[in-house]
Structure 1
Amino acid sequence: MSTKQEIPAHCKDCSTHKKSLFCDLAPEALDVVSRNRVTNFYKKGTTLFFEGTPNYGLFEVCSGKIKISKLTSNGSCTIVDIAASGDTIGLNSILAQQLYSTTAEAVEDSVVCFFDKNFFTSSALKEKAIVINIIDRLSKEIHNSTNRISSLSQKNVREKLAELILTLSENYGGNDGDSNTEKLDILLSRDEMASMIGVAKETLIRTLSDFKDEGLITQKGKYLYLQNRTKLNQYANLQY
């Protein structure tokens, strides 16, 4: 990814505008939002903010992927989400007027827009279209969080890993020229995948190997590919 040459001059020119928090704004209101953004390029591994630090504003992902993680009581790190293009980061902390409750780190080169907290709370929140989109996003977030808690507490390792692979496929899957396989267009380490389903790295590696042996997935280079979605759905035992 090149850097600033790819940053659009206006929010309306962004390829992810239709998925953003500001997608339903009138042109005049969108002009105001566009003038109040700061767009930055983040290299893979760069941290946008740390858990427990002052909340200075809201982030919207234009391109790339951002890992959202949280420290547990024993000091380990748990990945709670992966934000991709069109996703908003830091919204809950702004609305609750609290410190950032998570840490955000780029897992690949990313372009992200920043909106100052004072602008967002004093101006943007006056727009009905933004408030409606916030309600919609928070409702989906609560739904997803509830399902995630249920999955982590009730499912075995195979079920949890199958569900994770299907979720990654839904968000980042794509055909790679082979109608029989589906590429997961996201690079996550084994540690990161293990963190997302709450298991040890060794357990994750062993279960991934089992899935490969059973023909559910394959690996080409660093990327995973789905080979048997039907069987993964059976293993995932999705109830929602």
Structure 2
Amino acid sequence: MSIKGIFPIDNWDFKSESIFADLPLADYELLTAHKSEQIYKKNEVIFREGAYPSGIFYISKGKVKKYKVDNEGKEQIIYIANTGQLIGYHAILSGDRYPDSAAVMEESTITFIPKEDFLTAIERSSVLNSRLLKALSHEFAVLANSLTMFAQKTVRKRLAIQLIVIREKYKVNFVEGMPIAINISREDLASLVGTARENVVRVLTEFKEAGILATKGRKIIVLNVNKLIEISNE
């Protein structure tokens, strides 16, 4: 089922695919003049925090986690980017190093666009400029909401919200009534929720016993998204 009108998905998720959608042909050709495509295997790193950017990355197919690593080597996932989204451009726009790391969560096809082509396209394309500003503004709002969520909501509510958001990302050729399987490790889910793996497993078991979801190996099948929405609003 669609959650439009019953859950404010835009408060928790941002989509940057609109940045490239229907760009004027001249702008698109300028941007992609020297692009290259690479297949990354599951868990392979695309870029690391602190490295200098040499270009931007477009997710042609797959899913990518953006994360930071603390002094103890523990990952904190900031966001999961989906097919059609752009990553790595913040560092180029700020003229700084990457503020976080990125790794694929499944085998993914990633398109690389050199820094020089990206900057030239921005300089010449008012359409691209406008879309980037809009995307950055939306991303800031989403991250602000996420900070509030971590500060004010329980693990149970945070997990419900993240399952709703991730479920949307796994909608591929969706037909009404079709179950959606979320393929994510419990470690990554715990990192995204900001808690210990044991807490995530405990709450998932609770949801499973309540008939809200089912599991098959590491896959999570959401059976009752309405109930997750209710929990997120408790």
Q: 1:66 to 1:152 in 2, by over 3 A?
A: same
Partner of 1:19: 17
The 1-side partners of 2:164 and 2:73 are apart by 29
Q: Which amino acid is 1:183 matched to?
A: I
Partner of 1:8: none
**Secondary structure of the corresponding residue to residue 208 of structure 1:** helix
% identical aligned pairs:
29
Q: 1:88 to 1:177 in 2, by over 3 A?
A: closer
Which segment is superposed worse, 128-137 or 165-174? 165-174
**5+ unaligned residues in a row in structure 1: which ranges?**
1-17
Over the aligned positions, Cα root-mean-square deviation in angstroms equals 2.1
Q: State which of 179, 186, 208 in structure 2 corresponds to 1:182.
A: 179
**5+ unaligned residues in a row in structure 2: which ranges?**
1-15
Q: Quick check: 1:211 aligned with 2:181?
A: no
Decide whether the 8 Å contact of 2:186 with 2:197 is kept in 1: yes
Q: Which amino acid is 2:207 matched to?
A: F
Count of residues in Structure 1 that have an aligned counterpart in Structure 2? 219
**Secondary structure of the corresponding residue to residue 58 of structure 1:** strand
Decide whether the 8 Å contact of 1:47 with 1:104 is kept in 2: yes
Q: State which of 194, 197, 201 in structure 2 corresponds to 1:201.
A: 197
TM-score, normalised on structure 1?
A: 0.84
Partner of 2:122: 124
Higher relative contact order (CA 8 A, sep 6+): 2
The 2-side partners of 1:113 and 1:42 are apart by 11
TM-aligned CA deviation for residue 174 of structure 1: 5.5
Deviations 1:97-148 (A, max 9, x none): 1111111111111111111112211333420111111012111111110111
Partner of 1:7: none
| Moved beyond 6 Å, runs of 4+ | 175-178
Deviations 1:136-176 (A, max 9, x none): 21111111101111111111111111111111122223587
Partner of 2:60: 62
TM-aligned CA deviation for residue 33 of structure 1: 2.4
